[in-house]
A and B are shown apart, each in its own frame.
Chain A
């Protein structure tokens, strides 16, 4: 009995990290753009979608060619998005930026739904069962095996490792390179950074480029897991990652990554502990938790104003709210 519960805990832990990895990667990219230019990028989901489609078209090239091509195409698309749509509205208000990103997202998604590439009729959003409907999962990646009572697949392990490598790479990039310093400076205060000689176009393009690489990674890991390819494939993970980013504290890069993992844990914990009749309402409770976090800890879990617990305690002691959320 004890062994059972312990391995259960490990199972939930493993699953939480697996989901959390996706959310962390997406939240991180969203947070990067939000920090640098105040943009909540709806069109990020379409980058994932574009990655999934690229994989579909290159699925016969072997996994290495497929992965390289996906990274290349998604990164180029991300840079193009910035050049065509976001550069002209760069100085507009966040709401305008948000609506612009919605328009970009909407346009690209509609392009995928239409018959422009002669594809639409070939896809539906069901999980791929045949070669026509998506990328067939590699069995050696997705087969689960038993490690001390915990079921994991090679893909899960690969996801942990790739996420770990990408996160570590991001940390190195941000801490050790000139570009990283420029990015961090721009997140702090964009105008001031420009005054000290940081070139706006370069920094923002770089941020979009990094976002593209991360989106490609998410697309590859996601499609290898499920095999499904559909025009709205990016939307679900995107919403979840929005929320993860806010939980961690938008604009704070470590916070975003942490928020992704925390959200993965919340969703998993809720689906494990809720009584069976409420299980279908997991998302409902998860989003209630999100609202509670937003109201009680408005700056997220990681913030310059001290740890979340200390800020929460301060807030509880002095009921009238002292701090206003980053408006």
Chain B
């Protein structure tokens, strides 16, 4: 018992990422063991989006600054990694007009999957470094528009610079190297990274600036620098997601990384983070699972029908929108309320008890609960 006491402080620190990691591994084991091809595909996409949401959490969750621009990092990661892995004999014909200073080293390149992923993420990181200077000076809605501008810039570049990106045509010959285990491992790594960053001194300073900008500055926090570090780190994370995405879907084009009609990746990843609770890593994971499961369940229903009822196509998206609104109305701070998974010894059921009380006749408790700040 005393030995348990002694390790408890340390165990408390590593508990949330371990629990989340275990959760991911269990998901993987269940799907890999019992799921069919469709389930595996869903799970891979779940982990890919999870990596993006974790990247968003690192920046937006800790700094409180909204970003529409992270999908731009994803695009850069995907394109860079694809360019370096397509077999040279295919590239010679698909990239005829590539400028010679690029073609000189890109055309003969043939990297292994891991090297290419790191190269893609590296390119995204460099882009994040370049863009950090203006972005970290913005906050609130201006930051939203500034990052949106970044996304549009990268999108227009992808579409219009066909010598390097093939324009609106999809890629040809990208090797399909992203495996289920690979996405799982990357997701596990980034759960740990996001958590470590959040709990680090830099993360603490950044969270301080989120809660109260002036107070944080007054104690010497250099907010732009702290934000820039989170921005670059999240650029790397999302860049990895992009590279993995490219090697999973193989044929991708610029529209995969923009506001598209079906699964709108730019806004849905933000919605996942907010619905889960943006200030915690647990929130990122919960939001990602929540939205993916609902979306997939209704999509499955749409395709297969249930009990003779087949809803019209597009129902999944509509139901998702309704559930998003309802969730935000009921829990404006997200499902987790922005907290991490509590230590098992601390689990309390006061909220359940409060719910039970509320089911009874309305009394003083409710009035007090309604008055108390959110």
Contacts and interface: CB of A to CB of B under 8 A. Distances in A.
Nearest to A289: B149
Contacts of B148: 239, 242-243
Given A113-B261, A114-B314, A242-B148, A107 B274 contact: no
Interface in B125-168: 134, 137-142, 144-146, 148-150, 152-153, 156-157, 160-161
Contacts of A85: 325
Interface in A260-289: 280-281, 283-284, 287-288
B370 to A, nearest CB: 12
A325 B138 contact: yes
A235 B267 CA distance: 13
A100 B328 contact: yes
Contacts of A283: 152, 156
Contacts of A108: 321
B324 A298 contact: no
Contacts of A89: 328-329, 332
Given A34-B141, A295-B137, A114 B152 contact: no
Given A95-B274, A284-B153, A103 B325 contact: yes
Contacts of A96: 274, 328, 332-333
Interface string B313-332: 11101101110110011001
Interface residues of B, number: 46
Q: A114, A116, A290 — which one has the most chain B CB atoms within 10 A of its CB?
A: A114
A250 B313 CA distance: 38
A106 B146 CA distance: 22
B91 to A, nearest CB: 23
A107 B321 contact: yes
A211 to B, nearest CB: 17
Interface in A205-263: 231-232, 235, 239, 242-243, 246, 250
Nearest to B152: A287
B259 A235 contact: yes
B69 to A, nearest CB: 10
Given A99-B328, A104-B325, A291 B134 contact: yes
Main secondary structure of the interface of A (DSSP, over half): helix
A143 interface: no
B271 A103 contact: yes
Contact of B312 (A42, A115, A325, A327): A115
A281 B160 contact: yes
B317 A110 contact: yes
Contacts of B312: 114-116
A111 B316 CA distance: 10
Contacts of A290: 145-146, 149
Nearest to A236: B259
B213 A324 contact: yes
B278 interface: yes
Interface in A54-102: 85, 88-89, 91-96, 98-100, 102
Contacts of A324: 139, 213
Nearest to A243: B145
Nearest to A111: B318
Interface of A: 34, 40, 42, 85, 88-89, 91-96, 98-100, 102-104, 106-108, 110-111, 113-116, 120, 231-232, 235, 239, 242-243, 246, 250, 280-281, 283-284, 287-288, 290-292, 294-295, 298, 321, 324-327
Given A287-B152, A294-B142, 6 more contacts: A89-B328, A94-B140, A96-B274, A96-B328, A100-B328, A292-B134
Top 7 A-B pairs, shortest CB-CB distance: A107-B321, A114-B314, A103-B324, A110-B317, A92-B332, A287-B149, A88-B329
